[in-house]
């Protein structure tokens, strides 16, 4: 597995990481703990050195899983986690609000260090921008943690360009995490140019369009009642049926190259910028192997032009998020 640098702060990781959320939270029931550990360790053996989690995934359950799974590989892998939701630190209940006050950030860092079984957090993201706390104060709190040796790199998730600039002026931002794929290309308008200007890496989550770009989902697919996609407008049966035109495009290119639609979608992301590190998630070993195989797929300039031209003709249907969640994005 080749490596890439996230930003200019010295964070070098595998070209593809592993998003661990779905092992515990958000996309149906949690997997068996030992299965989750086995999957994460298989990823390490296959060259993955970058793992993504957050305190809110569970809450806490996913950090604990990742911490146990990666304990034998201390110093060989980088773990990213996140702060920012108003989780009750005793009960673990998540009422859905935000809290990025400096004292809260520092308390979350201490708790995450214990759950992840590490001496320092490799990458500590603000999960969502908190409108009640100036971003300069957030960046300052993380800067303190970096000085204390408890955090190595600062990240932002779903932040807008102005917020990124303000934070970066206080403490250099190593990476921004946001959704980006052929299924969601909004970051190309303002975010990617901002990151390139400032020397900040980009970590796309949902790089396979929450599974849609694998070609395994159509308008007849049903999701578990606990699956987040049930409330996503882009995943209504009508929207899925309309959006299959994009999957058909990927299928054609994949067939010609002898690979899968998912591999084409990930290879396309890797081809956009050398400082982009997608973090596809999965609960299945064969999907992990398929995703990692994308790092070896070479898309020619002609391939990329074909994808661009064909995708421009596809009018994707449905909003990315329901309105109450979209309000937390890009501020």
Active site residue 321: no
Distance of CA 117 to the CA centre of its chain: 21
Going by C-beta distance under 8 Å and a sequence separation of 6 or more, which residues neighbour residue 248?
A: none
* 140: phi then psi, degrees, rounded to nearest 5: -65, -40
Q: Which of 57, 125, 180, 321 is catalytic?
A: 57
Q: Sign of the CA dihedral 220, 215, 249, 184? A: positive
**Angstrom distances, CA of residue 97 to CA of 84, 132, 135, 276, 325:** 9, 11, 17, 30, 11
Task: State the Cα–Cα distance between residues 19 and 145, nearest whole angstrom.
Answer: 24
**Angstrom distances, CA of residue 294 to CA of 101, 118, 253, 271:** 40, 30, 13, 11
Provide the β-strand partners of residue 102. Answer: none
Contacts for 325-330: CB closer than 8 Å, 24+ residues apart: 328/98, 328/128, 328/129, 328/158, 329/128, 329/158, 330/158, 330/159, 330/160
Which of 263, 261, 228 has the alpha carbon at shortest distance from 246? Answer: 261
**Angstrom distances, CA of residue 218 to CA of 91, 211, 234, 242, 250:** 38, 11, 12, 10, 14
Query: What's the token pair of residue 13?
Result: 């990781």
320: number of CA atoms within 13 Å, CB side?
20
Task: State the Cα–Cα distance between residues 140 and 133, nearest whole angstrom.
Answer: 11
Going by C-beta distance under 8 Å and a sequence separation of 6 or more, which residues neighbour residue 85?
A: 55, 56, 59, 94, 96, 97, 98, 99, 127, 128
Q: Could you list the active site residues?
A: 57
């Amino acid at each position: 597995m080749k490596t890439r640098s996230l930003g200019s702060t010295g964070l070098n990781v595998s070209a593809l990481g592993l998003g661990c959320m779905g092992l515990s939270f958000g996309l149906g029931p949690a997997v068996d703990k030992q299965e989750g550990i086995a999957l994460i360790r298989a990823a390490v053996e296959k060259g993955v050195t970058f793992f993504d989690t957050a305190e809110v995934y569970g809450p806490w359950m996913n950090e604990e899983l990742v911490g146990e799974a990666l304990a034998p590989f201390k110093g060989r892998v980088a773990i990213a986690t996140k702060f920012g939701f108003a989780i009750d630190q005793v009960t673990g209940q998540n009422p859905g609000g935000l809290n990025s006050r400096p004292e809260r950030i520092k308390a979350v860092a201490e708790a995450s260090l214990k759950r992840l079984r590490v001496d320092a957090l490799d990458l500590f993201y603000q999960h969502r921008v908190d409108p009640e706390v100036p971003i300069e104060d957030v960046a300052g709190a993380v800067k303190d943690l970096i000085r204390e040796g408890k955090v190595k790199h600062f990240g932002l998730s779903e932040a807008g360009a102005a917020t990124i600039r303000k934070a970066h002026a206080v403490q250099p931002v190593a990476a921004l995490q946001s959704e980006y794929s052929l299924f969601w290309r909004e970051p190309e308008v303002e975010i990617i140019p901002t990151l390139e200007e400032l020397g900040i890496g980009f970590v796309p989550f949902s790089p396979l369009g929450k599974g849609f770009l694998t070609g395994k989902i159509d308008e007849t697919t049903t999701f578990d009642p606990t699956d987040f996609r049930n409330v996503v407008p882009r995943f209504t049966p009508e929207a899925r049926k309309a959006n299959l035109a994009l999957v058909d495009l990927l299928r054609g290119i994949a067939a010609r190259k002898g690979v899968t639609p998912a591999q084409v979608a990930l290879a396309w992301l890797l081809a956009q910028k050398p400082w982009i590190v997608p973090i596809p998630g999965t609960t299945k070993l064969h999907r992990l192997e398929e995703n990692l195989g994308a790092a070896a797929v070479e898309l020619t300039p002609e391939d990329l032009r074909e994808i661009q031209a064909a995708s421009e003709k596809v009018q994707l249907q449905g909003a990315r998020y329901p309105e109450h969640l979209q309000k937390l994005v890009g501020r």
